[in-house]
């Protein structure tokens, strides 16, 4: 079982240099990224059809409207973005072979790879990119998550056929991460109107059919531009058939009985026995998905009082969550980035589990019996289980906790109105730290306003400065100071890493997930997978 770790320091500034000088082209050729698909040949032996047991199904086909998660949704392999990922999670050239910002980071010029085609044969040009950004930013056509991901993109401008400039709302180094295929998926503009029935992307696989709750069929895109190190055209697979199987035991059974060849996740309780009994029979990968944390509401309720936030944080035993919810998998965490990741922060101070201290604080504050409404999304299993554990722990020190499980719409309303005392929230892995530290806690972020509603001047200053700082070490120092402020003020109390475990039959070769679970990335994942008999 492989645990994926990123291991590069200062990769951003080196990549930026390469992108700016055109050295990227030389580098990418060495890695096998020939610009013209026609020149490449198909691998003579590698192919096959992958049956993919997915934990969920798409809620729609329009990739600008529906979140096509790159770690679990089969449809995600239909798309690429201006930038791409490598296996370690670094941002590398994608549809754009290079990019450079202006001096004050308020605009970025992307130089597009020539000869890249959409699945319908239309060339990917600057006009297509511009139309994509306009469509995503329009609330009538872009989903809220997709719009939020490029909130800092003000507009796109066509410079010439293969050059596009993106203007930023505020100076930021995060643009390259924001235009990667997760979250920003490019679709053919001449097929926007039919995106809900037949989406057209630029990825290694193209759409064939979708029967909701039953099957998603994709086949190999013969004109995909990426090649392997030998110059063979990627992908190798002939087709992928996504088969949604929501129930974890059914999904795992489907893998074990050969109904599917690959599953994206399994239940936490199944991981250890499966590893013990079947590690020789299947490929198994554990990967970092994100994190889970408690949000304290600064707008309403008892946690406006810092003493109560402190008491609640002392009352939470991360170890209990580690065992009861995660069955010992993943790691307890006091920050969003795991050890080994370049953005893992050193020197972080966080409150320790101390129920006696929690009780004493509550008694001092004359707050024993304080009623707490703990909000959680009802359809999120891990969140629900964590909420139950947190409820028990808080109740044990003297809070009176009610877990408020709501489905999506009333849950969103409750967050917007601040109708909760605390909530259990999660985050998916963010390739740029501003997408966590900025989006979730920077007081001017729309999203932060509906979470804790916390405001700290120094925190905001640090985030604004980090956004404008190219040097990774300096950015890291700023985020360290910022996160320590957050850990002292407690808008959040970080609980645990979210990890997932995927598995595949031995017949699946050439596949390795990305460090944060990406199904497809530059030269790897499902782009390089193939079946053996």
Partner 1 sequence: MIRYTLYRLVQLIPVLLMVSVFVFVMIYALPGDVIDALAGESEAQDPLVRAALEKELGLDKPVYVRYFVWLGKIVIYGDFGKSITTGRSIGVEVFKRIPATVYLAIVAVTLSLIIAIPMGTIAAVRRRTWVDYVVTTASVTGISFPQFWFAILCVLFFSLFLGWLPASEYKSPFDDLGLSIKHLILPASALGVRLAAITTRLTRSAMLDEIRKEYVDTARSLGLPERRVIFKYTLRNALIPTITVAGLQFGNLLGGTVVIEAIFAWPGIGLTLYDAIVSRDYPMVQASVLILATAFVLVNLLVDLTYRLLNPRIRLP
Instruction: Kindly tell me which of 9 and 144 has the beta carbon lying closer to partner 1.
Output: 144
Q: How far is the CB of 145 from partner 1 (least distance, A)?
A: 8
> From the CB of 56, what's the least distance to partner 1, in Å?
10
Selected from 222, 247, 402, 465, the binder of partner 1 by CB under 8 A is 247
**Close Cβ partners of 85 (under 8 Å, ≥ 6 residues apart):** 91, 92, 180, 181, 431, 514, 518, 521, 522
Cα separation, 533 vs 386, whole angstroms: 42
Q: Contact between 144 and partner 1 (CB under 8 A)?
A: yes
Q: How far is the CB of 410 from partner 1 (least distance, A)?
A: 5
Please tell me whether residue 167 binds partner 1 under the rule CB under 8 A: no
Identify the residue among 25, 188, 254, 358 touching partner 1 (CB under 8 A): 254
Q: Least distance to partner 1 from the beta carbon of 254, Å? A: 5
Answer for which of 253, 275, 300, 350 binds partner 1 (CB under 8 A) is 253
Q: Which of 106, 163, 259, 484 binds partner 1 (CB under 8 A)?
A: 259
Kind of pairing between the strands at 282-296 and 91-93: unpaired
Q: Which residue is associated with the tokens 């999670």?
A: 89
Give the nearest distance from C-beta 249 to partner 1 in angstroms: 5
Which of these, 175, 219, 194, 182, lies nearest to 80 by C-alpha position? 182
Per CB under 8 A, does 212 bind partner 1?
yes
Q: Which stretch binds partner 1 (CB under 8 A): 28-36, 118-126, 144-152, 265-273?
A: 144-152
Contact flag: residue 243 with partner 1 (CB under 8 A): yes
Site string for partner 1, 188-207 (x = CB under 8 A): -------xxx----------
Query: Is residue 277 involved in binding partner 1 (CB under 8 A)?
Result: no
Q: How far is the CB of 308 from partner 1 (least distance, A)?
A: 25
State the minimum distance, in angstroms, from the CB of residue 284 to partner 1: 18
Measured distance CA(70)–CA(144) in Å, rounded = 17
Positions in 383-422 near partner 1 (CB under 8 A): 407-410, 412-413, 415-416
Longest dimension (CA), the chain: 76
Does residue 134 contact residue 144 with C-beta atoms inside 8 Å?
no
**CB contact at 8 A, 293 and 494:** yes
Contact 405, 378 (CB under 8 A): yes
User: Shortest Cβ distance from residue 189 to partner 1 (Å)?
Assistant: 17
447 binds partner 1 per the rule CB under 8 A: yes
450 binds partner 1 (CB under 8 A): yes
Q: Which two tokens stand for residue 470?
A: 């190219």
Give least dist CB 408 to partner 1, A.
6
**Nearest-approach distance from CB 2 to partner 1, in angstroms:** 26
- Distance CA(273)–CA(501), nearest Å, equals 13
**Whole-angstrom distance, CA of residue 351 vs CA of residue 353:** 7
Listed in order, strand segments (DSSP E) in 298-409 are 371-377, 400-406
Bridge-based pairing of strands 371-377 and 400-406 is parallel
Tell me if 104 sits within 8 A of 110, measured CB to CB. no
Q: Give the relative orientation of helices 472-489 and 457-467 as an angle to the nearest 10 degrees.
A: 160
* Residue 349 or 379 with smaller CB distance to partner 1: 379
Question: Should residue 250 be labelled a site residue for partner 1 when binding is judged by CB under 8 A?
Answer: yes
User: Considering beta carbons, is residue 195 or 528 the nearer one to partner 1?
Assistant: 195
Q: How far is the CB of 33 from partner 1 (least distance, A)?
A: 34
DSSP summary character for residue 291: E
Size of the chain, expressed as the number of residues it contains: 533
Do the beta carbons of residue 182 and residue 76 sit within 8 Å? yes
Asked if 449 interacts with partner 1 (CB under 8 A), we say yes
276: contact with partner 1 by CB under 8 A? no
Nearest to 514 by CA among 500, 532, 497, 494: 500
Query: Can you read off the two tokens belonging to residue 308?
Result: 């109560």
SS3 content of the chain, % helix, strand, coil (to 5): 30, 25, 45
Residue 151 CB neighbours (<10 A): 15
- In the Cβ-directed half-sphere of 251, how many Cα atoms lie within 13 Å? 25
The yes or no reply on residue 61 touching partner 1 (CB under 8 A) is yes
Select from 101, 176, 201, 244 the one that contacts partner 1 (CB under 8 A): 244
Total chain residues near partner 1 (CB under 8 A): 44
What minimum distance in Å lies between the beta carbon of 505 and partner 1? 15
Q: Is 36 in the site for partner 1 (CB under 8 A)?
A: no
Q: Which stretch binds partner 1 (CB under 8 A): 58-66, 104-112, 122-130, 310-318?
A: 58-66
- Alpha-carbon gap, residue 501 to 427, rounded angstroms: 17
* Residues near partner 1, by CB under 8 A: 59-62, 65, 139-140, 143-145, 147-148, 195-197, 211-214, 243-247, 249-250, 253-254, 256-257, 259, 379, 407-410, 412-413, 415-416, 446-447, 449-450
């Amino acid at each position: 079982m492989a645990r994926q770790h990123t291991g590069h320091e200062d990769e951003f500034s080196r990549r930026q240099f390469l992108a700016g000088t055109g050295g990227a082209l030389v580098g990418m050729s060495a890695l096998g990224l020939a610009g013209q698909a026609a020149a490449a040949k198909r691998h003579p032996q590698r192919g096959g059809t992958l049956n993919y047991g997915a934990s969920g199904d798409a809620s729609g086909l329009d990739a600008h409207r529906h979140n096509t998660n790159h770690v679990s949704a089969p449809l995600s392999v239909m798309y690429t973005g201006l930038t791409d990922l490598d296996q370690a999670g670094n941002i590398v050239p994608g549809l754009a072979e290079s990019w450079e910002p202006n001096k004050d980071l308020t605009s970025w010029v992307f130089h597009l790879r020539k000869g890249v085609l959409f699945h319908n044969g239309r060339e990917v040009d600057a006009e297509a990119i511009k139309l994509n950004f306009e469509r995503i930013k329009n609330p009538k056509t872009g989903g809220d998550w997709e719009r939020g991901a490029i909130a800092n993109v003000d507009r796109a401008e066509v410079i010439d056929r293969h050059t596009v400039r993106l203007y930023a709302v505020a100076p930021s180094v995060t643009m390259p991460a924001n235009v990667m295929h997760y979250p920003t998926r490019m679709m053919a503009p001449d097929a926007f109107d039919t995106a809900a029935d037949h989406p057209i992307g630029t990825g290694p696989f193209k759409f064939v059919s979708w029967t909701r709750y039953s099957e998603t069929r994709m086949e190999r895109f013969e004109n995909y531009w990426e090649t392997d190190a030998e110059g063979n055209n990627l992908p190798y697979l002939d087709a992928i058939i996504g088969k949604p199987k929501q129930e974890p035991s059914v999904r795992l059974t489907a893998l074990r009985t050969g109904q599917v060849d690959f599953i994206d996740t399994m239940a936490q309780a199944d991981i250890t026995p499966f590893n013990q009994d079947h590690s020789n029979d299947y490929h198994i990968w554990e990967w970092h998905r994100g994190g889970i944390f408690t949000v304290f509401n600064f707008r309403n309720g008892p946690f406006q009082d810092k003493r109560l936030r402190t008491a609640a944080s002392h009352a939470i035993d991360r170890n209990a969550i580690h065992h009861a919810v995660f069955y010992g998998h993943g790691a307890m965490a006091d920050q969003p980035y795991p050890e080994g990741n370049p953005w893992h922060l050193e020197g972080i101070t966080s409150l320790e589990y101390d129920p006696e201290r929690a009780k004493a604080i509550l008694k001092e504050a004359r707050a024993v019996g304080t009623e707490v409404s703990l909000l959680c999304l009802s359809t999120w299993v891990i969140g629900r289980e964590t909420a139950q554990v947190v409820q028990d722990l808080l109740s044990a020190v003297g809070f009176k906790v009610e877990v408020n499980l709501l489905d999506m719409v009333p849950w969103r309303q409750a967050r917007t109105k601040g109708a909760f005392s605390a909530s259990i929230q999660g985050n998916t892995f963010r390739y740029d730290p501003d997408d966590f530290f900025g989006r979730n806690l920077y007081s001017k972020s729309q999203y932060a306003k509906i979470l804790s509603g916390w405001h700290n001047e120094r925190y905001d200053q640090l985030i604004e400065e980090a956004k404008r700082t190219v040097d990774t070490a300096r950015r890291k120092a700023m985020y360290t100071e910022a996160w320590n402020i957050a850990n002292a003020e407690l808008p959040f109390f970080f609980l645990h890493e979210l990890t997932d475990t995927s598995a595949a039959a031995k017949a699946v070769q050439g596949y390795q997930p990305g460090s944060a679970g990406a199904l497809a990335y530059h030269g790897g994942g499902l782009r390089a997978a193939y079946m053996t008999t």
